[in-house]
Amino acid sequence: MTQGTNEPRHWSVLQSLPAPILVAMAQGAEASGVHGCFAAQVYGPPFVPLAAAAAVTQRIQLASGIAIASTRSPFETAMAAIDLDRISGGRFTLGLGASVLAWSQGIYGAPGHKPLAHLRETVAAVRHIIAGAHKGLEPFEGEYYSADYKDLTLTEPPVREKIPIWVAALRAPMVRLAAEIADGVMGHPMWSIEWALEQMAPALSEALEKAGRKRSEVDLNLWCWAAPGEDEAQAIEDARPSIAFYARVAQYEPFFEAHGFGDVARKLQQTIQGGDYSSAAHLVPDDMVRAFVSVGEPEKIRERIGRLNSIADSLCVVAPVYSLEPEKVLRYSMAISEIFHGGGQ
């Protein structure tokens, strides 16, 4: 862990793409010196592209960024983590998150739950299963998950009995939970530079002190939106839909209110019907885009995101992908790669 030195490790993102493209992306990331690759759960589980990448790489770290905790049993999550750690030879990190209720319940159909309590229990259950499924498991009794394991046949020993678990956070309550129970904190891509430095970093420090843990015990991984290019106006235009995608969600309203954009968020909630966020992206003002996305010349972006070097152990700089054509995503991703690790993927 770098613990806030001026050289954070850099991660990139994999998507579920046709095999030749996915293989090229994973191997290209490894060749260019990227520390690790995430795969996200948008709809499908993140474990599929990660397994494919694990089979064609040797060094690069692999992580779910994120797996939504409530969409599957903790037992299935634990088994997927064990499998990925085995396929990759011990290179897997399980990134877990709560998502928003509009997705976890409204799309995935998860039963009603309190996100923090559910995530806390999920982490405990997953650790219990990974550490003991090959030895014999004591029953697990929780509010959301209970199992007696009476018919469990002992599994093969895992590569590691303790696979790192990182927890994704948007606001302070989840940061505090991660500081207490997780091996890492994953900052939401919507974190502004100022939010990370002035709000979340102090919250993490306070929570670690309260939990009696050292900073070195928790990896702080920050995700950042970036749209590099000479045409800054076009970059802002390209980034608007990504902001609208999140700002339309009622559960995010307090976050945007804290940044001074509560009125815009409420307007987007009222305007957007269903999932058609791109049609209302024009309601996102330029200053709102600039608050959350680094745009413009490469040196300007490097300097802006470089402010996070004082607190971050690792960074994942990504293009604002929502509603962007694949060609633009690739172009921005290659520019980001050139800025932060000296080569295209």
Neighbours of 5 (CB within 10 A): 11
29-47 confidence digits (pLDDT tens): 999 899 999 999 989 999 9
Which amino acid, residue 10? H
pLDDT greater at residue 1 or residue 180: 180
| Average pLDDT of the residues in 100-107 | 92
Say yes or no to pLDDT of 344 above 70: no
β 165-169/92-97 pair status: parallel
Nearest to 225 by CA among 286, 312, 316, 162: 316
Percentage of the residues of the chain whose pLDDT score is greater than 70 = 97
Say yes or no to pLDDT of 341 above 80: no
Say yes or no to pLDDT of 69 above 60: yes
293-308 confidence digits (pLDDT tens): 999 999 999 999 999 9
Report if pTM > 0.85. yes
Say yes or no to pLDDT of 128 above 80: yes
Say yes or no to pLDDT of 289 above 70: yes
232-278 confidence digits (pLDDT tens): 999 999 999 999 999 999 999 999 999 999 999 999 999 987 778 99
- Angle 24-318-110 from CA coordinates, rounded to 5°: 95
Class of domain 9-223: alpha beta
Say yes or no to pLDDT of 343 above 80: no
Peptide bond preceding 66 in cis form (omega within 30 of 0): yes
50 with 84: CB under 8 angstroms?
yes
Say yes or no to pLDDT of 62 above 60: yes
| Average pLDDT of the residues in 155-177 | 97
* 345 band by pLDDT with thresholds 50, 70 and 90: very low
Which pLDDT score, from 0 to 100, does residue 60 have? 98
55 with 87: CB under 8 angstroms?
yes
* 2 band by pLDDT with thresholds 50, 70 and 90: very low
Percentage of the residues of the chain whose pLDDT score is greater than 90 = 88
**DSSP 3-state helix, strand, coil percentages of the chain (rounded to 5)?**
50, 15, 35
Sequence ranges of the domains in the chain: 9-223
Say yes or no to pLDDT of 187 above 50: yes
Say yes or no to pLDDT of 175 above 90: yes
